[in-house]
């Protein structure tokens, strides 16, 4: 069994081999670890990019910005327009595909402008067994998942994040606001705002 130091080194070598990367960066446990490793491996040849849409809570956006600043990695916001896609709004079990298809399409254009950068995400070995339509979109757009390829589990990522001083090491999993709306119920900006506001109140009660 490969130990964590060896896995970590393998990841750095993998990222260096890409030459230039764009990290799909939500500010969650996995993408924060990926952004920190990309910065360590590539410095200014790594950029973290966060998609902004009504399905992302404002608090999550602020946290992503703070995390990127702490890591030191260049950080950009991009607007995504999945709400303009009727298939996304219809909220079928394929909703995540349409969301990620939009995001990765935007990131692909940025990666091309950055001299053919490789897009990387935070998908890991523990995600492999789940129903994840977004993976289909990742494949479609040539997104690489080095954490998955190198066998990193969520526990590996949390342990290394803790060692690296990343505040996300014990952050709970955070799905987008649209995930709270039952399949078949239309995703609207109003519904997303209501979910976001209710969750902000619940967090304030902790």
Helical residues (DSSP H) of 19-82, grouped into ranges: 29-42, 58-71
pLDDT value at residue 1 = 67
> How much is the average pLDDT of 72-80?
95
Strand ranges in 83-124 using DSSP code E only, listed in sequence order: 118-120
Average pLDDT (72-94) is 94
In this prediction, residues 88-93 reach a mean pLDDT of 92
Task: Please report, to the nearest 10 degrees, the dihedral formed by the alpha carbons of residues 26, 2, 15, 82 taken in order.
Answer: -30
pLDDT tens string 11-61: 999 999 999 999 999 999 999 999 999 999 999 999 999 999 988 888 888
d(CA 3, CA 10): 11
Q: What is the share, in percent, of the chain residues with pLDDT greater than 90?
A: 77
Query: Is the distance from CB of 33 to CB of 48 less than 8 angstroms?
Result: no
Average pLDDT over residues 71-81: 95
Sequence-distant (6+) residues with CB within 8 A of 164 are 33, 36
- Selection from 143, 137, 163 nearest residue 33 by Cα: 163
What would the pLDDT profile of 139-177 be if each residue is shown by its tens digit? Answer: 999 999 999 999 999 999 999 999 999 999 999 887 889
> How far is residue 140 from each of residues 77, 143, 178, 195, measured CA to CA in Å?
22, 8, 22, 30
If you average pLDDT over every residue of the chain, what do you get? Answer: 92
Could you identify the residue written with the tokens 């009660």? 205
For 160-181, what is the HEC assignment?
HHHHCCCHHHHCCCCCCHHHHC
């Amino acid at each position: 069994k490969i130990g964590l130091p060896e896995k970590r080194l393998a990841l750095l070598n993998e990222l260096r081999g890409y030459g230039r990367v764009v990290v799909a960066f939500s500010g969650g446990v996995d993408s924060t670890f990926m952004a920190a490793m990309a910065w360590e491996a590539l410095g200014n040849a790594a950029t973290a990019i966060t998609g902004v849409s009504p399905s992302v809570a404002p608090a999550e956006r602020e946290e992503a910005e703070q995390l990127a600043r702490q890591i030191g990695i260049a950080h950009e916001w991009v607007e995504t327009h999945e709400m303009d896609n009727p298939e996304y709004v219809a909220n079928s079990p394929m909703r995540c595909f349409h969301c990620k298809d939009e995001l990765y399409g935007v990131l692909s254009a940025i990666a091309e402008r950055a001299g053919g950068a490789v897009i990387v995400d935070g998908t890991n070995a523990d995600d492999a067994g789940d129903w994840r339509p977004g993976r289909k979109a990742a494949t479609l757009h040539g997104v690489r998942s080095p954490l998955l390829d190198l066998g990193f589990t969520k526990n590996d990522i949390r342990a290394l994040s803790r060692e690296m001083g990343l505040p996300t090491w014990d952050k709970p999993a955070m799905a987008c606001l649209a995930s709270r709306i039952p399949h078949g119920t239309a995703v609207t900006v109003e519904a997303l705002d209501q979910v976001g506001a209710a969750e902000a109140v619940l967090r304030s009660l902790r």
